[in-house]
Amino acid sequence: MNKNANQNANQKTNSKKKIVLAYSGGLDTSVLVRILTVDYGYDVIACHADVGEARDKEKIQARAKQAGAVACEIVDAKDEFVREYCFPALRANALYEGIYPLSAALSRPLIAKHLVAAAKKHGATAVAHGATGKGNDQVRFDLAVKGLAPELAIVAPQREKNITRDEAIEYAEKHGIAIESTVKKPFSIDENLWGRSIEGGVLEDPSVEPPDEAFAWTKKPEECSNAPIYLKIGFENGLPVSVDDEKLSPVDLVQRVGAIAGNAGVGRIDLMENRVVGIKSRENYECPAAVALIAAHKDLERFTTLGAAQKVKDMLDVKFADVVYEGLWFSPLRAAIDAFNVEHDKTVTGEVTLKLLKGGLRVVGRASPFGVYNHAMSTYDRTDKFDHKAAEGFIALAGLQLAEFTRVNRLNEAISQTREK
């Protein structure tokens, strides 16, 4: 929209307050368009940031208008999502509780950023989202908005009203909002380029194995080929740039790795997860690209960086994942850890070979001009150049205090004597 058109739009509707709603195009957020208009008295601007869920843009636009939105902003955010959110997470080997690559958690701050941008563009005073009061997403949306534009009000009707699916359908019928299907979906799905989460239905029983229908991106491991698949990932400064020697853009690379790993059954995750709001929940994911890329990246770090720095980074990696999970993407803490990672990963350039077989994944080779590995130091054959005498001196100094302590106390002897009695 140009400046004049923008002003006209503002004038036409300046009697009513404006709000920007995170809009998926589904039933729930369509109902929210109307609720925010009728119950809350806002002019609603629907905002959809596409992070790779492959929905029909025109349909989303039409549904938003049909539900009563005064405007609809649709942003293709796939490239931004991978470069600015997934890749920093990859550099941090980010796995919440050691397992979950944070796919849903990474998309929320990006969506919030676009809500804030749309609010500025349209002169809105508030933003809204459809997250419930039981989940992590409300925390992530709200904290991201606070981190970017604390002056904006945040409205979360689903958290306030706890609208059930049946109520949403009833409301839609009453208000003439188009519904695509009233068939109850077996699972609640959230998906983007970094992964897919599957919740609800039979999965709410932690003892039940996830049924085949839960998965869409990964082949059932039992049904995968018996021949292993080798995948060579090239990295530059800690970020992936090629697959099997072919240079690819970030989005294409993630999609390529995801397709190959998913076809080998790699990336299924079943986690008893601790939510920010205290609930322990059973979560299922399929994140073939993230799982493969993190394994490769972590290995190349081990090969090309200092052991002492790696130990610090291991701790920061855990912290980074917690910070993202807890919704503090737009915080100086996240930015500071990321700055450390950028510096740390300056030598993480090279290639890692993964072997994928029936749901399993192993790193089986790595090569880099920056490999700190020195064959002459580690070999046991005749080319050995390691100074064995230096080890003797090292141990003499490392054991100095321990030997002295024992001489004075004979503590271990005393302990074993007490035990014998």
Q: Does 158 bind ligand ARG (CB under 6 A)?
A: no
The answer to whether 28 is a known catalytic residue is: yes
Among 7, 66, 182, 188, which residue interacts with ligand ARG (rule: CB under 6 A)? Answer: 188
Shortest approach of ligand ARG to residue 164 CB, angstroms?
Answer: 16
Lookup result for tokens 């229908």: 213
Among 27, 45, 104, 193, which residue interacts with ligand ARG (rule: CB under 6 A)? Answer: 104
Q: How many residues line the site for ligand ARG (CB under 6 A)?
A: 10
Q: What is the DSSP string of 344-385?
A: HGGG--EEEEEEEETTEEEEEEEE-TT----HHHH--STT--
Residue 183's CB: how many other CB atoms inside 10 A? 6
DSSP-derived pairing of the beta strands 229-236 and 239-243 = antiparallel
- Residue 234's DSSP bridge partners are 242, 351
Among 197, 284, 331, 341, which residue interacts with ligand ARG (rule: CB under 6 A)? Answer: 197
Which of the residues 39, 76, 188, 225 is marked catalytic? 188
Each residue of 108-143: b (16+ CB within 10 Å) or e? bbbbbbbbbbbbebbebebbbbbbeeebbbbbbbbb
Which of the residues 43, 50, 137, 317 is marked catalytic? 137
Closest CA to 235 of 362, 350, 134, 384: 350
Per-residue binder mask for ligand ARG (CB under 6 A), 265-304, x = binder: --------x---------x---------------------
Which of the residues 108, 256, 268, 366 is marked catalytic? 108
The answer to whether 108 is a known catalytic residue is: yes
**Rounded CA separation 42/154 (Å):** 13
What's the count of helices (H) and strands (E) in the chain, helices before strands? 17, 14
Shortest approach of ligand ARG to residue 63 CB, angstroms?
Answer: 19
Closest CA to 92 of 263, 273, 305, 297: 297
Shortest approach of ligand ARG to residue 411 CB, angstroms?
Answer: 49
Lookup result for tokens 């299922």: 284
Closest CA to 154 of 192, 108, 199: 108
Per-residue binder mask for ligand ARG (CB under 6 A), 107-146, x = binder: -----------------------------xx---------
Closest CA to 256 of 293, 227, 221: 293
Shortest approach of ligand ARG to residue 291 CB, angstroms?
Answer: 15
DSSP 185: P
Find the binding residues for ligand ARG in span 324-383 (CB under 6 A): none
Question: Measured from the CB atom, is 146 or 282 closer to ligand ARG?
Answer: 282
Shortest approach of ligand ARG to residue 190 CB, angstroms?
Answer: 4
Q: Does 193 bind ligand ARG (CB under 6 A)?
A: no
Q: Does 105 bind ligand ARG (CB under 6 A)?
A: yes
Question: Measured from the CB atom, is 70 or 155 closer to ligand ARG?
Answer: 155
Shortest approach of ligand ARG to residue 137 CB, angstroms?
Answer: 5
Among 43, 73, 199, 317, which residue interacts with ligand ARG (rule: CB under 6 A)? Answer: 199
Instruction: Kindly report the backbone phi and psi dihedral angles of residue 371, in degrees, each rounded to the nearest multiple of 5, phi listed first.
Output: -55, 130
Question: Measured from the CB atom, is 43 or 199 closer to ligand ARG?
Answer: 199
**Rounded CA separation 180/26 (Å):** 8
Among 43, 190, 301, 317, which residue interacts with ligand ARG (rule: CB under 6 A)? Answer: 190
Question: Measured from the CB atom, is 103 or 347 closer to ligand ARG?
Answer: 103
Q: Which residues are catalytic?
A: 28, 108, 137, 188
Task: Please give the residue ranges that form the binding site for ligand ARG (CB under 6 A).
Answer: 104-105, 136-137, 188, 190, 197, 199, 273, 283
